[in-house]
Chain A
Amino acid sequence: MTLRECVQRLDAEVAVGDDALDRKVESVAASDLLSDVLATTKHNYLLITGLVTPQVVRTAELMGSAGICFCRGKYPSQEAIGMAKVHGIPLLCTRLAMFEACCRLAGLDLERPYR
């Protein structure tokens, strides 16, 4: 799917990267631990996280991720936004909690996610 589809599925706001919404997203990773993010072998993934520090942006840049979506209504700090603009990393914000965000991206029915 594309970033645009992710934005739609998550009812997300685009904080950085209005011009990058056609970028392809091949998978999704969700974590609040940067070391977990560093250990992933996924490519072009959308990172769902509650961490709003510039270090998350730096990590995403180094790992070649497709973009970051902050969950639970969190908004990235000024420094994170600055770094994201400099390195071209799209930043999205959604009100959804991490589990709900992942469910929506996986196309699961939120009323009955366990089948």
Chain B
Amino acid sequence: MTEHSPLSSLATSPNDISIVSELLNQLKVRDVMTRSICTVTPDKTLRVVQHLMRDKKISGVPVVEGSRLIGIISLDDIIRALDRGEINMRVWEKMSRRVVTVEDHVSVVKAIDEMEKSGFGRLPVLDKDGDLVGILTHWDVVRKLVVMLQEVAMQAEQRERSILARTGSSQPEVTTLDFDVEHDDFENAGRASSAVKKALQARNVDPAVIRRVAVGMYEAELNIVIHSTGGTMAARIYSDRIEVAALDRGPGIADVNLAMKEGFSTASEKVREMGFGAGMGLPNIKRCSDVFTISSALGEHTEVSFTVFFTPQKPTPPSAPESA
């Protein structure tokens, strides 16, 4: 899984408090968790755990057999054991076998929900094979957010400085926002559209225009998620318009004219169950935009580009879609 910086897809204003929410939505548990975990084997005494907690300043120790999590000992367990003179008992005798865990690929938002639901402030993290790969605490999330916000602020400052140096003014002629869109990533589908929508709102663009852009981008983003092997979306915001280009890595469309027909869809059953796949995506994008082009062929990548002007244009005759 390639790591790409989620920062490249954020709106340019560092004062926007929704950056925190966007970050939280993008971050996965594995981006944030502590990987060097203190663990203990079931044969050890509780005294060993007590010392571990004291030395490492932690309040919970997962119990493992190899890389498999079989239980957990909490600070409460140790205090109780000290109270009852049971501190020399073995870990397996006193550990909780039912452990609340979280998987490494889920979003941090979901993990925080789990923490609140279960009441536990620290969750062991398992990978897809069920092996223990890390531990997640509230502090991990906060720490990561602080680091990322500092990077966002630095990047914004650098951008301002280079624009100032180049143009003598700090107003860019064109703002570019780039996003990576992964296949089957429904959790993040719409993130690019949301970020661009906020950027347009910051520029006081007419809300009706913003809605058209948001719909066009969302449909294009969903197309990449549903029908392609992954791709990118680039939005260029000028003073009078926005140009959006959605480019994927394949597999290409066999018959573009058929794809443009309302109601025609190649979406799978699973996708339809989510409420998508009505076959209105491409026609919707065309309807929402002032200029629309699509190029694709089976075995090649697909590119969908559209332009929306910020002020109403004279109606132009609908352009026939180009095919590669």
Chain A residues in the interface with B (C-beta under 8 A) = 32-36, 38-39, 49, 51, 53-56, 58-59, 61-64, 78-79, 81-83, 86-87
Chain B residue contacts of A54, Cβ below 8 A: 186-187
Chain A residue contacts of B110, Cβ below 8 A: 78-79, 82
Q: Is there an interface contact between B187 and A51, defined as CB atoms closer than 8 Å?
A: no
Q: Mind listing 25 A-B residue pairs with CB under 8 Å?
A: A35-B219, A35-B280, A38-B218, A39-B284, A53-B274, A55-B189, A55-B276, A56-B275, A61-B190, A61-B194, A62-B190, A62-B193, A62-B194, A62-B214, A62-B215, A63-B215, A64-B211, A78-B110, A79-B109, A81-B113, A82-B109, A82-B113, A86-B21, A86-B24, A87-B194
Chain A residue contacts of B287, Cβ below 8 A: 39
Chain A residue contacts of B218, Cβ below 8 A: 38, 58-59, 62
Nearest CB to that of A58 among chain B residues? B190
Q: Is there an interface contact between A55 and B186, defined as CB atoms closer than 8 Å?
A: yes
| Bound: A62/B113 CA distance, A | 24
* With A64-B211, A79-B187 already in contact, 15 other A-B pairs whose C-beta atoms are closer than 8 Å: A33-B278, A34-B276, A35-B284, A36-B278, A38-B280, A49-B275, A51-B274, A58-B194, A61-B190, A62-B197, A62-B215, A79-B107, A82-B110, A86-B18, A86-B25
Residues of A contacting B: mostly: helix
User: Counting CB contacts under 8 A, is B42 at the interface?
Assistant: no
Per-residue CB contact flags for chain B residues 204-239 toward chain A (1 = under 8 Å, else 0) read 000100010011001100000000000000000000
Chain B residue contacts of A49, Cβ below 8 A: 275
Q: Is there an interface contact between A58 and B189, defined as CB atoms closer than 8 Å?
A: yes
Nearest CB to that of A32 among chain B residues? B275
Within the complex, the shortest CB–CB distance from B209 to chain A, in Å, comes to: 12
Q: Is there an interface contact between A55 and B278, defined as CB atoms closer than 8 Å?
A: no
Within the complex, the shortest CB–CB distance from B317 to chain A, in Å, comes to: 22
Chain A residue contacts of B189, Cβ below 8 A: 55, 58
Chain B residue contacts of A83, Cβ below 8 A: 25, 109
By size class, the interface of chain B is 20 to 34
Q: Is there an interface contact between B214 and A63, defined as CB atoms closer than 8 Å?
A: yes
Chain B residues in the interface with A (C-beta under 8 A) = 18, 21, 24-25, 107, 109-110, 113, 186-187, 189-190, 193-194, 197, 207, 211, 214-215, 218-219, 274-281, 284, 287
Chain A residue contacts of B219, Cβ below 8 A: 35, 38
Q: Which of B21, B113, B187 contacts A87 (CB 8 A)?
A: B21
